[in-house]
Structure 1
Amino acid sequence: MDLLHCMQAFVRVAESGSFCQAAQILEISSPTVSRQVAALEEQLRARLLQRTTRSLALTEAGQRYLKRCKTIFAEIDTAAAEAASAQSRAVGCLRLHTITEFGLEYLMPLVASYLEQYPQVAIDLSLTEETPALLEEGLDVQVTLSLGLPDSEFVAQRLGQVHSVLCAAPAYLQRHGVPDRPAALQGHRCIMLADPLYPQGWYFDKEAIFRFHNVLRVNQLEAACQAAASGMGICLLPSFIAAKALSEGRLLRLMPDRQLHPREVYALYSSRRFLDAKIRTWVEHLKTHLPGAFERHRLTLEDPRFWATQRSSLS
């Protein structure tokens, strides 16, 4: 027995006062309507309608049940309308994830501007170093940094590329000199940032991988930046971490002709089909604004004022 169909048949009979009229409304036969109502009464073990050859009336139980049925169908209609509107109107809770420092630098400003544009959306932003399972964690969109297109069953929208640059504090370079090529790094104190994408060392090209006995190894981007800025050694930092320290003069860039350890930035979400409006508008927001943020950092990194050279004031 299809309970909802039987309930619908009962409501139509009760409202129209006739099995025949109910059948016409539902576009099924009168015997089918009669069987559905009878099956419903059997299921409930209660008589809902008093029937005679000339009249039809609701029992007291039928009156109560009719009221409940109408409430249920109203809720179903509301749920259907809300589900349909989710594709056209951004509402509800948007659950996001990315790595901590990338999120602080790039996503937090975009969260603020997005919420101004879509005030009916609430955002739950998770910033961790781990990469959680998108569906299992109930996430809507995950921004990932990878070597290429993620091997995933999810939709991946490319948002741009970031890379890393060699940096050191002015004080360190004054004491130890300015290396101008990969081979010149030998003998320098180096800070290693644990990087699962580039685990063996610093990749200058496919043939040249600089391996060293690091003075410090850390697994957190900001810690590596602080260590380098304090003069502990040379560090390879992602552009979005290095740009601020460079512009503030806490670090200087080495070998400015080299952009190392490229990472593709992608937004991952579950499906294109019936895409929720809050997901669609957030991804569009990222695609509109992230390239500009990447470009601002690129210009900072390419500013000669922040490069360490042999002819600089370091000597």
Structure 2
Amino acid sequence: MLDRLTSMAVFVQATQMGSFAAAAANLGMSPQMVARHIAALEQHLATRLLNRTTRKQSLTEFGRAYLERCQAVLAEVNAADALAQAAQAKPQGRLRINAPVTFGRHALMPLITRYLHDFPQVELELTLSDRRVDPVEEGYEAIVRIGPLDEHLAMVARPLRPYRLVACASPAYLKEHGTPLNPTDLARHECIGFSPWPVDLNRQWRFQQNGHDGEAAVASRLSINDWGAMHSAARSGFGIVLGPEHAVAEDLAAGRLVRVLPDFEAPARAMHLLYAADRRMTPKLRCFVERMIETFGGNQH
């Protein structure tokens, strides 16, 4: 029994080359075998595909329609084969990634170094920036974005775990100034602000409890545009900071910082991995995306 995909490919070649002999020469088979493939298709379809005379051949009306479908099917098969070959190819070349500063410094770097260790033929350029970059104009193959997405974003957006913030302070600060029990108590404390935030967000910290939202007025005499400096100020005992969960985890575990208002959650911000909507993703990018979803996927806690 002849393979139908092969018979379809032979049929396409026979119509494109204009004769069984030319198709046979191109395919490396005998003209008789070409004829067998065409006959097998016609028998399966119970209709004629070609009108053949001793001098020429021409497509029947059904044959023309069937030819278009065969070409479409074979193109999809070739695309699937190319996809499989790309999946098996080793990641290599230069990969440019952009991510927010604090997330990149504290959460992303372990993944980056493992990725480069596993794929030694890849060179990775990581740019950390809190501004909204244009991935196409600036040549980034993937970016991590925190916050709402643009409505008309022409990119694939893979959800990651929400970006969570926790309120914390040093034991020395809490010993001297007391521990807030409710968000409203923050008005009497030194609260370190993050200057890139909108003014209202630095004056009002939002919290949730049992699904209910609430705002607390805060006094931010000190506002800083860098998390490292905010972290240092909090650890030195200056005040309370609303810091990224992953960036304060070690200090909380070691007791250098203490979480305050543990019964209240600061609203988490959405976080996504963005990359171009390209059907032919390179192996280096595909492997990076897979690592990101595995490590920071949205269903993890």
Q: Report the AA paired with residue 237 of structure 2.
A: G
1:202 matched to 2:208:
no
Indicate the residue corresponding to 1:259 in structure 2.
265
Secondary structure of the equivalent of 1:105?
helix
Please list the CA deviations of residues 132-152 of structure 1 after superposition, one character each: whole Å capped at 9, or x if unmatched.
1101111001011114x5531
Which structure 2 segments of 5+ residues have no match? Answer: 1-21, 27-81
Deviation for aligned residue 1:290: 2.6
Indicate the residue corresponding to 1:309 in structure 2.
none
RMSD: 2.7
Answer whether contact 1:198 1:261 (CA < 8 A) is retained: no
Indicate the residue corresponding to 2:285 in structure 1.
279
Deviation for aligned residue 1:282: 0.5
Indicate the residue corresponding to 1:112 in structure 2.
113
Please list the CA deviations of residues 120-176 of structure 1 after superposition, one character each: whole Å capped at 9, or x if unmatched.
2111111122221101111001011114x5531110011211211111111111111
1:101 matched to 2:102:
yes
Answer whether contact 1:142 1:268 (CA < 8 A) is retained: yes
Indicate the residue corresponding to 1:159 in structure 2.
160
Deviation for aligned residue 1:238: 1.2
- Determine the C-alpha separation between the residues in 2 that align with 1:272 and 1:146: 24
Please list the CA deviations of residues 247-287 of structure 1 after superposition, one character each: whole Å capped at 9, or x if unmatched.
23221000112221312221100114111121111000111
Q: Report the AA paired with residue 266 of structure 2.
A: L
- Determine the C-alpha separation between the residues in 2 that align with 1:138 and 1:83: 24
1:134 matched to 2:140:
no
Indicate the residue corresponding to 1:181 in structure 2.
182
Q: Report the AA paired with residue 234 of structure 2.
A: A
Task: Return structure 1 stretches of 4+ with deviation > 4 angstroms.
Answer: 82-88
Secondary structure of the equivalent of 1:165?
strand
Deviation for aligned residue 1:291: 4.7
Q: Report the AA paired with residue 292 of structure 2.
A: L
The sequence identity of aligned pairs, in percent, is: 33
Answer whether contact 1:168 1:234 (CA < 8 A) is retained: yes
- Determine the C-alpha separation between the residues in 1 that align with 2:88 and 2:215: 50
Equivalent residue runs for 1:45-84 within 5 Å: none
Deviation for aligned residue 1:85: 6.3
Q: Report the AA paired with residue 275 of structure 1.
A: M
Equivalent pairs counted in the alignment come to: 215
Indicate the residue corresponding to 1:170 in structure 2.
171
Say if 1:85 and 1:121 are closer, same or farther in 2 by CA, change over 3 A.
farther
- Determine the C-alpha separation between the residues in 1 that align with 2:200 and 2:145: 18
- Determine the C-alpha separation between the residues in 2 that align with 1:271 and 1:154: 5
Please list the CA deviations of residues 31-59 of structure 1 after superposition, one character each: whole Å capped at 9, or x if unmatched.
xxxxxxxxxxxxxxxxxxxxxxxxxxxxx
Say if 1:163 and 1:150 are closer, same or farther in 2 by CA, change over 3 A.
farther
Q: Report the AA paired with residue 277 of structure 1.
A: P
Which structure 1 segments of 5+ residues have no match? Answer: 1-20, 26-81, 296-315
- Determine the C-alpha separation between the residues in 1 that align with 2:293 and 2:94: 20
- Determine the C-alpha separation between the residues in 2 that align with 1:137 and 1:83: 27
Indicate the residue corresponding to 2:145 in structure 1.
144
1:212 matched to 2:213:
no
Say if 1:127 and 1:191 are closer, same or farther in 2 by CA, change over 3 A.
same
Deviation for aligned residue 1:236: 0.9
Answer whether contact 1:156 1:268 (CA < 8 A) is retained: yes
1:224 matched to 2:225:
no
Answer whether contact 2:180 2:260 (CA < 8 A) is retained: yes
Secondary structure of the equivalent of 2:233?
helix
